[in-house]
Amino acid sequence: MRKQAAILQEMGYTLWQLRQSTPEHGEQPQPPVPAEKPSMPESPAPKAGILDSAAKSALSGTASDRRAETIATLDWAALTEAIQECHACGLCARRRQAVPGIGDRTADWLFVGEGPGAEEDAKGEPFVGQAGKLLDNMLAAIGLRRDHNVYIANAVKCRPEGNRTPSAEEMAACRPFLLRQIALVAPKLIVLLGKSSVHSVLKDDRSLSALRKKPLSFGAIPVVVTYHPAYLLRNLPEKAKTWEDLCRAREIFRESEAHPLLE
Ligand code: URA
């Protein structure tokens, strides 16, 4: 018990309100294909092409190849604009604004959540609500800060009404944006927070408990799977497991620093 109490203290445990799930689905208007835009000089160039094969195989053979292929060419400015103007699924109908992502665009660490809630929809920034406070504490527990060497994105960029879990179709419509963010950031490690991000990035629907200790990767980038902060707010015992996962992520990162990939 003492160990768990120490872990919880370190992770700044506070009892916050839960996200709710509702079953409604929005209608799905046809996606406009974003115009291809030239690279903007102020955007950092993508890091070396370690994602090429993963990104290519993820993009081939889907129904929206052309749209996905166009998105895969966008620089940061064009990508942000395409996300903000996206009408590829029904989530756009009720959003106040799309929430592209936040953080260091050259970060070594990428954290991926599910989708914006009410506060994120209002502010245009991921993880600013109660789950965000816990995420900040989780980052602090392993010596990270959201504005330093960390980028935070979501599986879907628009708020699902009632904070329900996004549908597979909504995640598929948003996936090219997430893949492009991964390619542009080119992190050294990806931490997937909850089932939706695992579904979206890895296309794997196994349970988190089956996946969390497995050696996983997206292309050449190691992936660590753990529980979503909103889930942790209502499932106290899983916080200790998340602490283990974060420590494992830190070890994998240190290992990758000690033995960098040859590019
Ligand atoms: N939950 C998420 O998955 N993402 C956010 O941005 C906020 C809450």
Which strand ranges, in their side-by-side order, compose the sheet holding 189-193? 102-103, 150-154, 109-113, 189-193, 221-226, 216-218
Residue 161 lies in a domain: yes
- As a whole number of angstroms, the distance between CA 131 and CA 134 comes to 5
Mean pLDDT, the chain, integer: 83
Question: Ligand 1: which atom is nearest the Cα of residue 120?
Answer: 6
E-state strands within the chain: 102-103, 109-113, 150-154, 189-193, 216-218, 221-226
Please report the pLDDT score of residue 198 as a whole number. 98
- Asked if 33 and 172 touch (Cβ cutoff 8 Å), the reply is no
Number of domains the chain is built from:
1
Residue 27 lies in a domain: no
Pick from 86, 95, 81, 80: which is nearest to 26 by CA?
Answer: 95
Structure tokens at 27: 């209608």
Judged against a pLDDT cut of 50, whether residue 3 lies above it is answered with no
Please report the pLDDT score of residue 259 as a whole number. 78
Q: What is the Rg, in whole angstroms, of the alpha carbon atoms belonging to the chain?
A: 18
pLDDT band at 39 (very low <50, low <70, confident <90, very high): very low
Please report the pLDDT score of residue 206 as a whole number. 97
Residue 80 lies in a domain: yes
Task: Work out the average pLDDT over 85-108.
Answer: 98
Residue 96 lies in a domain: yes
Question: Ligand 1: which atom is nearest the Cα of residue 119?
Answer: 7
What separation in Å is there between the alpha carbon of 253 and the centre of ligand 1? 24
By most ligand atoms within 8 Å of CB, the mutation choice from 228, 231, 232, 233 for ligand 1 is 228
Please report the pLDDT score of residue 15 as a whole number. 36
DSSP string, 139-160: HHHTT-BTTBSEEEEES-SSPP
Please report the pLDDT score of residue 260 as a whole number. 73
pTM above 0.85, yes or no: no
pLDDT digits (tens, 9 = 90+) for 245-263: 999 999 999 998 887 765 5
98 SS3 class: coil
Question: Which residues, judged by CB distance below 6 Å to any ligand atom, belong to the binding site of ligand 1?
Answer: 113-117, 120, 126-127, 129, 131-132, 154, 230
Residue 242 lies in a domain: yes
Task: Work out the average pLDDT over 81-96.
Answer: 97
pLDDT digits (tens, 9 = 90+) for 136-180: 999 999 999 999 999 999 999 999 999 999 999 999 999 999 999
Residue 195 lies in a domain: yes
Instruction: Determine the number of helices (DSSP H) and then strands (DSSP E) in the chain.
Output: 11, 6
Residue 120 lies in a domain: yes
Pick from 142, 145, 120, 117: which is nearest to 226 by CA?
Answer: 142
Pick from 86, 159, 162, 93: which is nearest to 121 by CA?
Answer: 159
By most ligand atoms within 8 Å of CB, the mutation choice from 112, 120, 195, 234 for ligand 1 is 120
pLDDT band at 211 (very low <50, low <70, confident <90, very high): very high
- As a whole number of angstroms, the distance between CA 22 and CA 9 comes to 32
Structure tokens at 216: 């996983």
What separation in Å is there between the alpha carbon of 103 and the centre of ligand 1? 14
Question: Ligand 1: which atom is nearest the Cα of residue 152?
Answer: 6
Please report the pLDDT score of residue 236 as a whole number. 85
pLDDT band at 60 (very low <50, low <70, confident <90, very high): low
By most ligand atoms within 8 Å of CB, the mutation choice from 114, 125, 134, 174 for ligand 1 is 114
| CA-to-CA dists, residue 158 to 112, 153, 256, angstroms | 14, 11, 33
What separation in Å is there between the alpha carbon of 235 and the centre of ligand 1? 17
Domain extent at residue 171: 50-258
Judged against a pLDDT cut of 60, whether residue 50 lies above it is answered with no
Residue 13 lies in a domain: no
Judged against a pLDDT cut of 70, whether residue 26 lies above it is answered with no
* Amino acid present at 162: G
pLDDT band at 237 (very low <50, low <70, confident <90, very high): confident
Please report the pLDDT score of residue 53 as a whole number. 55
Domain CATH for 164? 3.40.470.10
pLDDT band at 9 (very low <50, low <70, confident <90, very high): low
What separation in Å is there between the alpha carbon of 99 and the centre of ligand 1? 10
Question: Ligand 1: which atom is nearest the Cα of residue 197?
Answer: 3
- Asked if 100 and 157 touch (Cβ cutoff 8 Å), the reply is yes
Judged against a pLDDT cut of 90, whether residue 35 lies above it is answered with no
Residue with the bigger pLDDT between 52 and 99: it is 99
Question: Ligand 1: which atom is nearest the Cα of residue 126?
Answer: 6
